[in-house]
Structure 1
Amino acid sequence: MVLFAQVFGSLFGLLAVVFGAFGAHALKKTFTDDQLKSFETGVKYQMYHALVLLMLGFNFNLDTGYQKAMIYCFVIGVFLFSFSIYGLTLTGSRGNKWKFLGPITPLGGLLLVGGWALLIYNLVGNFI
């Protein structure tokens, strides 16, 4: 599970840099201000959670059930949250918005919240 967290943290970090540059340069010309802000939100959340995954992968054994669940929440949450935003903004800018992605974004956000809750549980559990 440690390697899983480190690989996905690294992959999400790499893609956040690529997508951020793509958004700042190529998409700036075709996106509205609201679309660009939404896209940037996806990139920011992706990078934040890439760093969290790396931190967890380098500092925890990630061998308990709730620690594994925490990592899965972060990985799946980033994928659902950020990538649905990318899909919504890219298709919206071309006039054919994939509305089915709309409900996926909050589901991803809920998984991210769950990952943070499990991290708090992990940290507090060590002191009780």
Structure 2
Amino acid sequence: MKLLGILGSVGLLLGVMLGAFAAHGLRGHLSEQMQIVFETGVRYQMYHSFAVLIAAVLVQRNQNFFLAGIFYAIGIALFSFSLYILALTGIRWLGAITPLGGLSFMIGHALLLIGFLRTDGNKKT
């Protein structure tokens, strides 16, 4: 599906850009702990942007794959971006949002599993 393809591609593009920013622009400007927090956001954004792309390819087989991709995208917004803002600003209460992103990732993974369980393995895409 086009929407998921766009979301996954933009997620990967931003992930590479933010990773480069973390490696070259933030070193020495953040504490070691906040650098790790930022890089964790980048890592999970990259993993789940690939998951969004996988869901985009699989959505033709089962609508659960579409929902999985949407939950992955929501997870990126909540998990990764709360970590970016936390690392850059030090606003601690943003850490309370991060687990909601993790929950969104887990829902996405569960929907991916359901999609595979409900899909006929012989169906051609």
TM-score of the superposed pair, with normalisation by structure 2: 0.88
1:39-77 CA-to-partner distances (Å, cap 9, x unmatched) read 11100100011111112212332762x333222211111
Contact 2:86 2:94 in 1 (8 A): yes
Structure 1 unaligned blocks of 5 or more = 93-97
Distance change (3 Å), C-alpha of 1:69 and 1:60: closer
| Match in the other structure for 1:95 | none
Structure 2 unaligned blocks of 5 or more = none
In structure 2, how many angstroms separate the alpha carbons of the residues matched to 1:16 and 1:37? Answer: 15
TM-score of the superposed pair, with normalisation by structure 1: 0.87
Contact 1:77 1:111 in 2 (8 A): yes
| Match in the other structure for 1:112 | 105
1:13-63 CA-to-partner distances (Å, cap 9, x unmatched) read 000000000000111111111111111110010001111111221233276
Identical amino acids, percent of aligned pairs: 39
Contact 2:41 2:84 in 1 (8 A): yes
Contact 1:85 1:105 in 2 (8 A): yes
